[in-house]
Amino acid sequence: MNSTILEAKSISKSFNDPIKVDVLTDVNFTIQKGEFVSLTGKSGCGKSTLLYILSTMDTSYDGSLFIDQIIMPKENEQFLAEIRNKKIGFVFQFHYLLNEFNVLENVMLPGLKLNKYSREEVEHRAMEKLKILDIDKLALKKSFRISGGEKQRVAIARALINDPMIIMGDEPTGNLDKKNGDLVLDIFKELSGSFNQTLLIVTHDPSFAEKTDRIIRMEDGRIIS
Partner 1 sequence: MKYKLLVSIAKSLLLARWKQTLVAAVGVTFSITMFITLLGFMSGLNDLLDGLILNRTPHIRLFNDIKPNLNQPINIHPDFTHSHNFISSIKSESNRQAIYNSIAISTRIKNDKRVIGFSPKITAQIFFNEGSVDVTGAINGIDYNEESRLFHFNEYITSGNAEDLDKIANSIVLGKGLAKILLADIGDIVYISTSNGERFQLKVVGIFQSGLGDIDKTQSFASVGTVQKILSKSNSYITEIQIKLNDIGMAPAMAKEYEALFETDAEDIQTANSQFETGSSVRTIISYAVGITLLIVAGFGIYNILNMMIFEKMDSIAILKATGFSGKDVQTIFLMIALSIGLFGGLLGLVFGFGLSSAIDQIPFNTPSLPTVKTYPINYAPIFYTIGIIFSLITTFLAGWFPSRKASKVDPVVIIRGK
Ligand X SMILES: Nc1ncnc2c1ncn2[C@@H]1O[C@H](COP(=O)(O)OP(=O)(O)O)[C@@H](O)[C@H]1O
- Binding piece for Mg ion, criterion CB under 5 A, among 25-33, 48-56, 77-85, 118-126: 48-56
Helix axes 119-132, 103-114, angle to 10 degrees: 130
Select from partner 1, ligand X, Mg ion, none the partner in contact with residue 17, using the beta carbon and a kind-dependent cut-off of 5 to 8 Å: ligand X
38 binds Mg ion (CB under 5 A): no
Nearer to ligand X, 25 or 32 (CB): 25
Nearer to Mg ion, 48 or 152 (CB): 48
Question: What is the side-by-side strand order in the sheet with 166-170?
Answer: 88-91, 166-170, 198-202, 36-41, 214-219, 222-223
Among positions 33-72, residues that touch partner 1 (CB under 8 A) are 48, 52, 55, 57-58
Look at residues 171, 112, 175 and name the one whose alpha carbon lies nearest to residue 188.
Answer: 171
77 binds partner 1 (CB under 8 A): yes
Q: In whole angstroms, what is the distance from residue 93 CA to residue 215 CA?
A: 19
Look at residues 90, 20, 29, 21 and name the one whose alpha carbon lies nearest to residue 64.
Answer: 29
Nearer to partner 1, 44 or 206 (CB): 44
Q: Which residues bind ligand X (CB under 6 A)?
A: 15, 17, 23, 41, 43-49
121 binds partner 1 (CB under 8 A): no
Select from Mg ion, ligand X, partner 1, none the partner in contact with residue 85, using the beta carbon and a kind-dependent cut-off of 5 to 8 Å: partner 1
114 binds partner 1 (CB under 8 A): yes
Which one of residues 13, 31, 45, 48 is an interface residue with Mg ion (CB under 5 A)?
A: 48
Closest separation between CB of residue 89 and Mg ion, Å? 18
* Residues binding Mg ion: number (CB under 5 A): 1
Burial class of residue 66 (count of CB atoms within 10 Å of its CB; 0-12, 13-18, 19+) = middle
In 10 A of CB 210, how many CB atoms? 10
The residue type found at 87 is K
Does residue 194 contact residue 133 with C-beta atoms inside 8 Å? no
